[in-house]
C-alpha cells in the first residue's frame, strides 16, 4: 500500500455541483428525489432522447424532473415514485443510444472514489503484457479473461500466472510499463476534477504495485493498494506477497477508506471484471467500465459509449466545470 498527499482533501462537504442535486419543481417539489438518472454520449444525443426518456419513465409510474446537463450530450433527471431497479429496466433500451446510469441518492455528497486499474484506468492487463516478455502471453491472457468473467478463482489463477514469470529480470517491469501501459481516455481529467472537488481517490488493483504505483503517480491518485511481486537477485521469483488483493480485499479497502468520509454510501467505485463486483456493490454508486457481463449485472450502470469522464456527468458536473488534462 502507498499513500500520497499530492491533492489535499477538503475537510468540508463538496461543492453543490458535485452533490447529486438538481432543481426540483412540479410533482417532485414536496418530496426528496431518491433516484438519479444520467444518459450521456460523448458524440452527442438526439434532441428526442430527452422527451422519450421522460415519457418512458412517466409511463412506468414515475414523477420526473430535470433535463439537459450538457445540451446535446448529457441528460440528468430526478425521478420519484419508482425504485431504481424499475427505472433501470425502463431505460434499458436507451443503452443502445447512450450510457445509462441509475442510482439512489447518497446521504450526502460523494467523498471517495475507488477504481480498479487494469482495463479500467489503463488500457491493458499488466500481467498479460509482462507475460509476453516471458513468452506466455496467450496462455496467461486466456486465464485472465476467464478470471475476469468470474469463471475461475482470482487468487488461484493469479498464483498460477505469476509462477510463469519466474526468472524474468526485474528490469522487464520498467520496460513493459514504458512501452505498453497507457491511461484510458479521460482518466487524467476524471482524477484531476474529482481531486479539485475534494473527493479522495484510491486505486485498488489485483495487479502489482510495480505498475499501480507509477500509474497512481501519473494520474494523481491519493492512495494505491495492490499486490507485490516477489523479487530476489534482480529477478522475479514467480511468487506474489501475501495476502493477495482479491475481490474481498478490494471491498475491505473501500469500506475502511470510506469510514472517515461518511461511509460506503458516499463512495463511488468503478471496475471492469468479476473481481470488482464486491467493491462496486459496496459503494453508494458502483459502475462498470466496458465491463464483463457478471460485473455489468451487479453495477448501477456501465460506461460503454463514453470515456471515463462520463462519471463527471453522473456527478452533475458540466464540461465547463471539468479540470481538463491530456
Q: Which residues are catalytic?
A: 116, 118
Q: Are 187 and 323 in contact (CB under 8 A)?
A: no
> Where on the phi/psi map is residue 325: left (φ > 0), alpha (ψ -120 to 50), or beta?
beta
Strand 285-289 versus strand 99-104 pairing type: unpaired
Q: Are 125 and 187 in contact (CB under 8 A)?
A: no
| 3-class DSSP assignment, residue 32 | coil
Q: Are 37 and 100 in contact (CB under 8 A)?
A: yes
Cell 499530492 locates to 6
Q: List 236's β-bridge partners, or say none.
A: 231
Burial class (CB in 10 A: 0-12, 13-18, 19+), 29: exposed
CA distances 96 to 91, 92, 93, 271, Å, are 10, 8, 6, 21
d(Cα 162, Cα 35) in Å, to the nearest integer?
A: 43
Burial class (CB in 10 A: 0-12, 13-18, 19+), 277: buried
Nine cell digits for residue 56:
418512458
Quick count: other Cβ atoms within 10 Å of Cβ 259? 11
Closest listed residue to residue 268, CA positions, set 91, 111, 36, 89: 111
Q: Are 66 and 76 in contact (CB under 8 A)?
A: yes
Nine cell digits for residue 226:
495492490
Amino acid at each position: 500500500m502507498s499513500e500520497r498527499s499530492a491533492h489535499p482533501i477538503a475537510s468540508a462537504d463538496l461543492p453543490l455541483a458535485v452533490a447529486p442535486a438538481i432543481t426540483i419543481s412540479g410533482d417532485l417539489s414536496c418530496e426528496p428525489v431518491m433516484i438519479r438518472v444520467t444518459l450521456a454520449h460523448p458524440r452527442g444525443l438526439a434532441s428526442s432522447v430527452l422527451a422519450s426518456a421522460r415519457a418512458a419513465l412517466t409511463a412506468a409510474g414515475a414523477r420526473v424532473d430535470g433535463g439537459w446537463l450538457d445540451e446535446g450530450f448529457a441528460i440528468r433527471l430526478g425521478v420519484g415514485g419508482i425504485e431504481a431497479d424499475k427505472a433501470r429496466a425502463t431505460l434499458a433500451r436507451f443503452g443502445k443510444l447512450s450510457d445509462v446510469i441509475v442510482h439512489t441518492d447518497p446521504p450526502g455528497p460523494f467523498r471517495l472514489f475507488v477504481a480498479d486499474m487494469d482495463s479500467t484506468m489503463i488500457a491493458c492487463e499488466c500481467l498479460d503484457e509482462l507475460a509476453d516478455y516471458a513468452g506466455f502471453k496467450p496462455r496467461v491472457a486466456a486465464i485472465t479473461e476467464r478470471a475476469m468473467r468470474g469463471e475461475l478463482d482470482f487468487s488461484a489463477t493469479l498464483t498460477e500466472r505469476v509462477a510463469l514469470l519466474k526468472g524474468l529480470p526485474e528490469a522487464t517491469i520498467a520496460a513493459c510499463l514504458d512501452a505498453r501501459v497507457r491511461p484510458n481516455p479521460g482518466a487524467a481529467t476524471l482524477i484531476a476534477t474529482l481531486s479539485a472537488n475534494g473527493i479522495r481517490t484510491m486505486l485498488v488493483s489485483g495487479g502489482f504495485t510495480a505498475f499501480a504505483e507509477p500509474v497512481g503517480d501519473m494520474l494523481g491518485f491519493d492512495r494505491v493498494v495492490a499486490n507485490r511481486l516477489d523479487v530476489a537477485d534482480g529477478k522475479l521469483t514467480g511468487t506474489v506477497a501475501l495476502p493477495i488483493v482479491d475481490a474481498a480485499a478490494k471491498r475491505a479497502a473501500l469500506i475502511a477508506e470510506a469510514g472517515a468520509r461518511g461511509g460506503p454510501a458516499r463512495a463511488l467505485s468503478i471496475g471492469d471484471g468479476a473481481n470488482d463486483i464486491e467493491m462496486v456493490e459496496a459503494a453508494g454508486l458502483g459502475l462498470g467500465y466496458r465491463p464483463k457481463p457478471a460485473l455489468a449485472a451487479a453495477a448501477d450502470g456501465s460506461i460503454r459509449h463514453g470515456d471515463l469522464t462520463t462519471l463527471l456527468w453522473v456527478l452533475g458536473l458540466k464540461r465547463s466545470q471539468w479540470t481538463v488534462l491530456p
